[in-house]
Structure 1
Amino acid sequence: MRVLELAKNRKTVRKFLPDKPPKEDILKAIEAAKEAPSGMNAQPWKFVIIDDHWLKAKIREVCEEVEKKFHEKVSGELGEWLKEKGFTPEKPFLSEAPYLILVFGHTKAPYWLQSTWTAIGYLLLALEELGLGTVTYTPPNPKPVEELLNVPKDYKLQTILPVGYPADPKPKYERKKLEDVVSFNGF
């Protein structure tokens, strides 16, 4: 099963080689993503590809501003996990990756959220198949990015995918066992 192999190999990537993948590969991955099922076949997603250096730097700047505010307030289990893993407000992958794919959902469509994230799942596997890495990064407050890009009010940023050839040596996080996540005929 090719999909299972792709899913097992896919990992979070935050460091990229400087080589820029062909734009056709990015479009091929989005071609797969747009085939995802959606409520009432509304296809409520919009993919915005950013490869302009200035714009990537500006997106990074506004995201780091909201990340700083988030990191000042976060506590509890999430705060501990972020510190343990070494996460900070700095997001260099937003300006260093050759491409950013911003995925938006049309909030007036039925089941827009579930449908958009299903398409994102397809996109992640398609990028893996093409040998490209990414991380699903969602800023704590997407409004500044939406304002920067003049996004229509009925669309909401779901994730920013920095995309390129992986240069991240970090291994994939361990997954739970199948029997830990599956049950039959009840929870």
Structure 2
Amino acid sequence: MRVLDLARRRKTVRKFRPERPPMEDLLKALKAAKEAPSGMNAQPWKFVVVDDEWLKGRIRELCEAEERKFHSKTKGDLMAWLQSEGFRPEKPFLSEAPYLVLVFGHTKAPYWLQSTWIAVGYLLLALEELGLGTVTYTPPNPKPVENLLNVPPQYKLQTILPIGYPADPAPKRGRRRLGEVVSFNGF
């Protein structure tokens, strides 16, 4: 399948079917992600696969506690948008998805942040090609999850990807037209 077709088809998935995809499929997607370019070829990413039910539940508990703090402090346009979209502190996908892939970046590497997120982009398209869905969930405070997993201090959690077969009926959100996001020879 062509990349443009994959990109057009790929959507955010927050609900998953209960059956567990083969680990081989997840590993295929991670093989694609590790091929992403990186500053000085540092390859600053680390992917932690979680399939243990207790650990997924604990990650969910920690993230929801941080989400409650975030929601209690958020006001204005952002809170209005969160409410209008139905976003709440509860994140059931963190324990319901068959797999979680936690993506970390090595903060001492050059261009670690950009490089890590390019790898995430590769991973998203590879998952789509394999018929797997996900959402890029970024906890408001990743520290409790980092502590739970004994993450070395030079690594920072960037996103948690719940992965499984999609069961989310929500359509893909619209995208801007090309002319709205592209210009030539200046902004």
Across the aligned residues of Structure 1 and Structure 2, the Cα RMSD in angstroms comes to 0.6
Residues 112-145 of structure 1 deviation map (CA, whole Å, 9 limit, x = unaligned): 0000000000000000000000000010000000
Tell whether 2:121 aligns with 1:121.
Answer: yes
Counterpart mapping for 1:27-66 below 5 A: 27-66=27-66
Mapped partners of 2:77, 2:164: distance in 1: 31
User: Aligned pairs, how many?
Assistant: 187
Match in the other structure for 1:155:
155
Query: Could you state the TM-score of these two structures normalised by the residue count of structure 1?
Result: 0.99
Tell whether 2:176 aligns with 1:165.
Answer: no
Counterpart mapping for 1:8-27 below 5 A: 8-27=8-27
Secondary structure of 1:43's aligned partner = coil
Match in the other structure for 1:110:
110
The runs of at least 4 aligned residues of structure 1 exceeding 3 Å deviation read none
Mapped partners of 2:11, 2:115: distance in 1: 22
Mapped partners of 2:77, 2:44: distance in 1: 33
Percent same amino acid among aligned pairs?
77
Structure 2 residue identity aligned to 1:91: K
Match in the other structure for 1:72:
72
Mapped partners of 1:148, 1:101: distance in 2: 15
Mapped partners of 1:77, 1:104: distance in 2: 30
Match in the other structure for 1:100:
100
Query: Could you state the TM-score of these two structures normalised by the residue count of structure 2?
Result: 0.99
Mapped partners of 1:165, 1:77: distance in 2: 33
Secondary structure of 2:95's aligned partner = helix
Tell whether 2:175 aligns with 1:175.
Answer: yes
Match in the other structure for 2:90:
90
Deviation at 1:75? 1.3
Mapped partners of 1:93, 1:105: distance in 2: 23
Structure 2 residue identity aligned to 1:143: K
Mapped partners of 1:31, 1:76: distance in 2: 42
Mapped partners of 1:8, 1:128: distance in 2: 10
Mapped partners of 2:173, 2:68: distance in 1: 25
Residues 77-100 of structure 1 deviation map (CA, whole Å, 9 limit, x = unaligned): 211110000000000000000000
Mapped partners of 1:43, 1:105: distance in 2: 9
Secondary structure of 1:79's aligned partner = helix
Deviation at 1:68? 0.1
Mapped partners of 1:115, 1:13: distance in 2: 24
Where do 5+ consecutive residues of structure 1 fail to align? none
Secondary structure of 1:31's aligned partner = helix
Where do 5+ consecutive residues of structure 2 fail to align? none
Deviation at 1:149? 0.2
